[in-house]
Structure 1
């Protein structure tokens, strides 16, 4: 399925389908999942990057087990809104993933997501650096997914 606009994602999902947020990093992939009502994002796990086929297989298992109907992928824009090499790498990984998993997908600006999550972890949770490092990528994926969910048109 091709990429779509974020606002179109809800109508492309099967009934009860959830969204998966993905934050592609150089060493890990942060994963988050929405609730079925598309209101709340929760961090799920991190995937240690290996060969992409293994990463995609791990994502496919999560898609199957969690009733995922679409993806929101964090797009690492530069601070001035332009796209750099990391954006192209993210677009390439997303295109490769969509060849394997035929689900609707939209991009979400992820600028400052990791910094926002890290600040919250320091201020609110008072986590040590080691514990933050373990949780930051999935929390950033949840932050990205929550931003996308918050921007969706209301169904009420």
Structure 2
């Protein structure tokens, strides 16, 4: 059974999502306020242990033309270090427009996106994980 944890890695926050035991439904779990690499990894480690995670799914912010820009390279570098520290494989998902979709969901709930940045990050992480889970079901 594959138990995944998804990360929407930003400069200030990391949105985190997990899936149910069936591996079908992604849910936003928490938002980590970034402080230092060590503290960020420690918070991720706690979730990995609690949920018995065996793969990390990381959203990769491709440019609209499909290339890997500066931010995507930073995310890859961070994900590589986290994967190494936690001894977990990393899988990447194209996360283009997930933050925009998450924002639209919040607006649809009649909430303010500017007051709910952490919620946007969590929802974006769950959209990333859902894309990954759905792709696995099809194969």
Same fold per TM (> 0.5)?
yes
Q: Does 1:142 align with 2:105?
A: no
Unaligned runs of 5+ in 2: none
CA contact (8 A) 2:56 2:83 kept: no
Of 105, 111, 125, the residue aligned with 1:127 is 111
CA contact (8 A) 1:78 1:111 kept: yes
Cα offsets for 1:51-91 (capped at 9, x unmatched): 10110011000100112111110000001100100111011
Of 86, 92, 96, the residue aligned with 2:71 is 86
CA contact (8 A) 1:118 1:132 kept: no
Q: 1:153 offset after TM fit, Å?
A: 3.4
CA contact (8 A) 1:24 1:74 kept: yes
TM-score with structure 2 setting the length: 0.94
Rounded Cα–Cα distance in structure 2 between residues aligned with 1:120 and 1:99: 34
Count of residues in correspondence between the two structures: 139
Q: 1:36 offset after TM fit, Å?
A: 1.6
Q: 1:37 offset after TM fit, Å?
A: 1.4
Per the alignment, residue 38 of structure 2 pairs with 53
Q: 1:154 offset after TM fit, Å?
A: 4.6
Cα offsets for 1:10-42 (capped at 9, x unmatched): xxxxx4x41000010010000000112110000
Structure 1's 79 and 68: CA in aligned 2 closer, same or farther, altered over 3 A? same
Rounded Cα–Cα distance in structure 2 between residues aligned with 1:108 and 1:153: 15
Per the alignment, residue 152 of structure 1 pairs with 136
Aligned-residue RMSD, C-alpha: 1.4
